[in-house]
Amino acid sequence: MIPFNKPYLSGKELEYIKEAVVSGKISGDGIFTKKCHDFFKNHYGFQKCLLTTSCTDALEMAAILLNIQPGDEVIMPSFTFVASFEAVLSVGAVPVLVDVDDSLTLSPDAVRKAISSKTKCLMPVHMCGSMADLDALVSICREHKLVLLEDACQSIGASYKGKYVGTIGNAGTFSFDFVKTITCGEGGVVMTNNEDVYIKCDGYSDHGHDHKGVDRGADLHPFVGYNYRISELHAAVGLAQIKKLDRFLEIQKRNHSQLKNILSQVSEVSFRQIPDPTGDSCTFLSWFLPTEETTRAFVNEMKAQNIFAGNFYWYDNNWHYIRKWDHLKNSTTLHLLNNEQQAALKKLQSQDFAASDAIMSRCISTAISLLWTGEQIKEKGEKMVAVIKKVLSEQTVTS
C-alpha cells in the first residue's frame, strides 16, 4: 500500500504536547500558541494573526470582522469545500457560486458577470495547492470597491508573484486539519494587516474579552463574542509542524515534478493552468483527460485494480463540487435562513454550471504524499499511465 495523505509526524509533536501538559496551561493562550502566532507574523509578513479551532471558524470570524452583513453577497467558486459557503451562511450573507476555469479556481469573467448591487466580497479559494488569478480579482475588487477574503486552506506555502496566498486580500485564512500540508489535528488561522480587525478578532474569538486585564477575570467585554480559541495542545502539534513547512514544500515539489514527468508521457493528458507556476505548493497534481467518458473509464479501471486511492474525481465528490451539493441547493439546514439566502439557494437549483462541468468532469487530482519514495512514485505513475493507455485504446477500438 502506497501512502498518500498520512500526516508527516517527526516526534517533536509528542514532545511539545508533553511540555504543554506539564506546564498546566493548555487553554490556548500559552507559549505554543504564542510561538505559532509569531511564526505566521514573521514568515508571512502579516502584522496580526489569530489561531482558531478550525478554518471554518476562521472564515466565519473574518467575514464578520470585514463587516459582511446579512443579505450581502459573497462570490465564490463552484469548486471549493463546503466550509466556504457554510461560513458565509452562518453570518447571514448570501453565497453566490460561479464557474471555475482550467485553473480550478474562480473565473474572473464569471465573477464580473455575477457582480450585483448587493455584492460585498470576493472569496477566491486557492484549491489543491495552487492559486487563483489574484491580479484579475484584486483589480475587480478595486473597481467595484469589494472586500477580498482569501480562503487559502488548501494552499499553505503557495505564493503569487512573490507574495504568499492568504496575504494579498483584506484577510486570509489557512487550515490545519489532518490532511493539510501541516496539521494541528484541527485548527485554522486568520491573518490581517488591519489593526482594528485584529483587535476585534482577538476579542470576538474569546467571548468578547478585551484582554486588557492582568487576568481573564479582570477583562471587560466591549461586545458579545464566541469561543473560537485553539487549544494549547493543538498549537503544540502545530508548532512542531510549522518548523518543517519549508522542508515539506521542498518534498512536495520534488514528488509532484517526478509524477508529472511520468504522466506527461501520454499526449492525451493535459494539466491545470497555474497562474504562477513557481508559487504552486504542489499538494496535488491536477490533470485532465480528453472527455468525461475517458475520465470515468479511468476512474472505474483504477478502482477495479484497487489502485485509485489518492486520486480524486471531484465531479462526483460530495464535499467539493456544486453538482453533489443537494443539501445546499435544497436549503436543508437545521437553522433558519433569511429570505435572501433562501432565494439565492433556490436559484442554485436551476443555475447553469456547464463551463465548470466541462472542466471538472475531465479532471483528476492526485494527492502528493510527503512519505513517497522515488520508487513508489515511479510505481504509482507507471500504473496510472498503463490504465490511461488501456482506456484510451479501448475507446479507440469501440468508436
Residue 348 bridge partners (DSSP): none
Cα-flanking dihedrals φ and ψ of residue 144, to 5°? -105, 5
Q: Which residues contact 14 (CB under 8 A, 6 or more apart)?
A: none
* Alpha-carbon gap, residue 13 to 235, rounded angstroms: 10
Among 87, 86, 96, residue whose Cα is nearest residue 116: 96
CA angle at residue 244 from 281 to 158, to 5 degrees?
20
Q: Is 360 helix (H, G, I), strand (E, B) or coil?
A: helix
Q: Looking at 48, 120, 180, 200, which residue is catalytic?
A: 180
* Alpha-carbon gap, residue 220 to 143, rounded angstroms: 40
Lookup: cell for 123:
472569496
Reply yes or no on whether 180 is catalytic.
yes
| C-beta separation of 360 from 287 below 8 A | no
Among 232, 229, 211, 230, residue whose Cα is nearest residue 220: 211
| C-beta separation of 220 from 210 below 8 A | yes
* Alpha-carbon gap, residue 332 to 330, rounded angstroms: 5
Residues marked active site are found at 180
